[in-house]
A and B are shown apart, each in its own frame.
Chain A
Amino acid sequence: MKELVIIVLSAVFVNNVVLSQFMGICPFLGVSKQLKSSIGMGGAVIFVMVCATACTYPVYILLDRFEITYLRTVAFILVIALFVQLVEIVLKKVMPPLYSALGVYLPLITTNCAVLGVTVANIDSEYTFVQSIFNALGTGLAFSLALILFSGVRGRIEHSDIPATFKGVPSTLIAASIVSLSFMGFGGLFA
């Protein structure tokens, strides 16, 4: 139990997926303009990450059985792409309110490298099934936290006076650098 809590906390704070591992930068910069869309994207990512891990773990065991683990990149990305499509169709039919909240963000997630990254990282760190699920949950929470915190920072940038050359993306990246700096303070928390 204690181990699982540590996995989640270290994924959220110490090894934050966006700010210290640089995965999922595109949605981080693209969707963090408003709090509302940040929450929607964050929710969709948590959901897909946990379910994708639950799907890819058995697939890896199957590949391992036939000794074709080198196919894991192809197999994982296919599973994730199929899964995202499936979730979209099912949600549209079964839970329309949830679909309208998360729906538009779902297609964007197939190419979010954080999802493929976390499934591969789970295998590389030799986690058990339960540990993998908790690691995926922590990584999803970390992504949402970074996105929500950063949408607040960006709200402030929009209204400040910046040199013309730095307006837009450059100032956003430098703000991200400062947010990332603050997360360095968590380093060594569970070492």
Chain B
Amino acid sequence: MTDKKTKSNWYEFTKGLIKENPTLVTLLGMCPTLAITTMAVNGIGMGLATTFVLVCSNIVISLLKNVIPKAVRLPAFIVIIAGFVTLIDFILQRYIPSLYSALGVFLTLITVNCIILGRAEAFASKNKVIPSALDGLGMGLGFTLSLFTMGSIREILGSGSWFGIEIPGISSNPMLIFIMPAGGFFVLGCIIAMVNKLANRKPPKEISCDNCPSAAICGGSCQNREKEADK
């Protein structure tokens, strides 16, 4: 009994790292993934800030899941998330001002990161506290991992350095395009293709309702509408 329980908790933690990696597999939280990964260190900072918010909001939402009425659950979740975002905003502003200014408006925009609302809706509002916290931690670290990968590739190719340390040979003549917006889209496209190749899996055709946090409100009506337009 206990063995089974720890195993399932371990599963909740590890699934977010690779198997259901939020950015590369379920394609959530694309905006910060593309915007702030011009440097590896920014990727890690953003990832950890999001992890903090994700774990805290998952815990609180899981505790309050029987108190919040179903009809107003989304506004309630958003307010809980926004509260923790304000908190991390203060912490970074006070202790790591360089990261605070590098992340800029995207720190505020953690509030509307699809991963957090998506996990709140899909997991924390249905599960107990400990699995929810582990789920948040796993998903957050998976997010951090993919941001770190993106950031490393873009920093090495685009600035010729890694964590600010210049790499001899490339640093004199880096490919600037990789730290520009166009390079962000390109690198993410290639990484997703590579992950699919390695996992020997067909790439997702589109962003489906399974992963769309708004699906709870719209009930898939956007998809049905497109199908109607097809006919």
Contacts and interface: CB of A to CB of B under 8 A. Distances in A.
A112 B225 contact: no
B109 interface: yes
A115 to B, nearest CB: 8
Q: Interface residue tally of chain A, by bracket? A: 35 or more
B78 A24 contact: no
B74 A81 contact: yes
Interface string B111-138: 1111001000000000000000000000
Interface string A40-84: 000000000000000000000000000000110110011001100
Contact of B206 (A23, A120, A165, A168): A168
Given A81-B78, A171-B189, A180-B181, A111 B31 contact: no
Secondary structure at chain A's binding surface: helix, strand, loop or mixed?
helix
Nearest to B28: A26
Contact of B186 (A26, A71, A173, A184): A173
Contact of A73 (B89, B182, B188, B212): B89
Given A169-B27, A170-B196, A171-B189, A113 B218 contact: no
Interface residues of B, number: 58
A112 B185 contact: no
Interface string B83-101: 1011001100000000000
B67 interface: no
Interface in B182-227: 182-186, 188-190, 192-194, 196-197, 202-207, 212-214, 217-218, 221-222, 225-226
Nearest to A176: B185
B34 interface: yes
Nearest to B83: A74
A184 B182 contact: yes
B225 A104 contact: yes
A78 B186 contact: no
A116 B79 CA distance: 14
Contacts of B196: 165, 170
A117 B109 contact: yes
23 contacts: A21-B35, A22-B30, A22-B31, A22-B35, A22-B181, A23-B109, A29-B207, A33-B226, A37-B225, A70-B90, A74-B79, A82-B75, A107-B217, A108-B217, A111-B214, A112-B112, A116-B109, A165-B194, A165-B196, A167-B202, A170-B203, A174-B185, A184-B182
Given A74-B82, A104-B218, A107-B217, 11 more contacts: A29-B27, A30-B207, A33-B206, A73-B86, A77-B78, A82-B75, A108-B217, A120-B108, A168-B202, A181-B177, A184-B180
